[in-house]
Amino acid sequence: MMDQSMFGWILASVLGLVAIYSLVAKKKRAGVSSEARSECVESVTTTTNGECGSGNGDVDVIIVGAGVAGAALAHTLAKDGRRVHVIERDLTEPDRIVGELLQPGGYLKLIELGLEDCVKGIDAQQVFGYALFKDGKNTRISYPLEKFHSDVSGRSFHNGRFIQRMREKAATLPNVQLEQGTVTSLLEENGTIKGVQYKTKDGKVLTAYAPLTIVCDGCFSNLRRSLCNPQVDSPSCFVGLVLENCELPYANHGHVILADPSPILFYPISSTEVRSLVDVPGQKVPSIANGEMANYLKTVVAPQVPPEIHDAFVAAVERGNIRTMPNRSMPAAPHPTPGALLMGDAFNMRHPLTGGGMTVALSDIVVLRDLLKPLRDLHDAPTLCKYLESFYTLRKPVASTINTLAGALYKVFCASPDRARKEMREACFDYLSLGGVFSTGPVSLLSGLNPRPLSLVLHFFAVAVFGVGRLLVPFPSPSRIWIGARLISGASGIIFPIIKAEGVRQMFFPATVPAYYRAPPVNRDH
């Protein structure tokens, strides 16, 4: 087995190379940022009539979208005394197949924001860990919750019920105006976003103005192109089903089946329902309309489902109501813009395999709340924009850890004909099955309880080294040494591009980023 010093040397060398590549990429991005901004005319309207600041001038913040991020942000800022105008395309209860699992780290953020009662009264289920299944074997991995109150755990629920509870809670505050309407563009004057143009439910075109506009319009955002450089990747789709009145092998646990060609998830979303998400690689899925999807689920997927829930799975397929959702990942690549900010899935996405999206969004809201709290006045847009650059660095420990883990685990968990990739997948399952620090370490990262990127890298390569060690015992034949070398190379090829996209400096050395130390601007009367 490779000794620690050699492993450390390899890791340090590769991290150094990635840092260089990251700096080069950063210069390239800086060169194209102005071009990207010029392509965004469809989502930005330039105001020339000098009326910015009139109309809804009594509003401090406009929030576009009232999903998990928008609703939680509206309540949080309003509780701090801000006057908030929320514009949401559809205020009826959402019906989605993702955003149904909140990790313990996200639940702690919910408590910090005073929104923990939003998971009550919606038949939410406590989640205490995961069960992994592979080739007839299974292992249970529990969240390390010993140090927390008994109420702290993951929560799984119907996404729409959760969002409606948060919308209702935000709307109870007198300084929140919650309105149904479709935002069609941001209003810009001399490079500063002054507000939004939107169409009301009855078709009227209105404008709203505020010193700060926060865009939270979700994964299909039509406004993000004016505020960031989106590099959206869609590696797969989730096919969603609801299993009724069945018992999972491990109660109150998420279940991950390392299936062929890619993972299958099961977790409870109410006391009588279990969500099934079947990952289908690529952007094209079998047709639901002509029965191809049902046939695929019955013939390819069902035989790989644990026997305890096989019949319930087949019954769910036969009932129909099969739904699909593209899985998207997008590193945060903001263009700091005076008067505006991106949040939630409009800003940053990761593969939903690990259920980390809501945890990242709620963590971002805590960071933003703490940054804005000392400010009375938000009208000095250029100064505020400069100050809020620290947001992009301060959010990194939680966001980059969850983002990187989600992308890396998805690639490791997918089946591959390559022998080295097979060994990495097997090593990951067996490593987690060892228990102790080998399971609690990775699951604490996944759960948002340990936002330390370095711990993630060390565990990831510990899995790779564990896999190489198994190959070299009892006899290190040339072919096994070659597979081991390819395993290490493959592991590097999985994780380092994700780290590079996240930003090596912000991820591992945030204290070296000048914005990390940015102090609040001095308040002046407007």
Q: Which residues face 78 on adjacent strands?
A: none
Q: Is 1 helix (H, G, I), strand (E, B) or coil?
A: coil
Query: How crowded is residue 268: how many other Cβ atoms within 10 Å of its Cβ?
Result: 27
Work out the end-to-end distance of the chain between its first and last CA atoms, rounded to an integer number of angstroms: 66
Q: What is the pLDDT of residue 21?
A: 40
Nearest-angstrom CA–CA distance, 504 and 410:
21
Q: Is 457 helix (H, G, I), strand (E, B) or coil?
A: helix
Read out DSSP for 380-432? -HHHHHHHTHHHHHHTHHHHHHHHHHHHHHHHHHS--S-HHHHHHHHHHHHHH
Nearest-angstrom CA–CA distance, 28 and 17:
17
Fold category of 61-122+157-232+331-379 in CATH: FAD/NAD(P)-binding domain (3.50.50)
Q: 300, exposed or middle or buried, with CB in 10 Å at 0-12, 13-18, 19+?
A: middle
The residue extents of the domains of the chain are: 61-122+157-232+331-379, 234-328, 405-507
Whole-prediction pTM: 0.88
Q: Which residues face 325 on adjacent strands?
A: 238
Q: Is 230 helix (H, G, I), strand (E, B) or coil?
A: coil
Judge if 61-122+157-232+331-379 and 234-328 fold alike in CATH terms: no
Q: Are the CB atoms for 266 and 255 separated by under 8 Å?
A: yes
Read out DSSP for 122-155? TT-EEE-EEEEEETTEEEEEE---TTS-TT-SEE
Query: Mean pLDDT in each 10-residue stretch from start to end of the chain (526 residues)?
Result: 42 43 39 37 45 58 98 98 97 95 98 97 98 96 94 97 98 97 96 96 96 96 93 96 96 98 98 98 93 97 97 96 95 95 96 96 98 94 95 95 97 96 97 96 96 96 96 91 96 96 93 89 62
The highest-level CATH class for domain 234-328 is alpha beta
Q: What is the pLDDT of residue 40?
A: 36
Q: Is 96 helix (H, G, I), strand (E, B) or coil?
A: coil
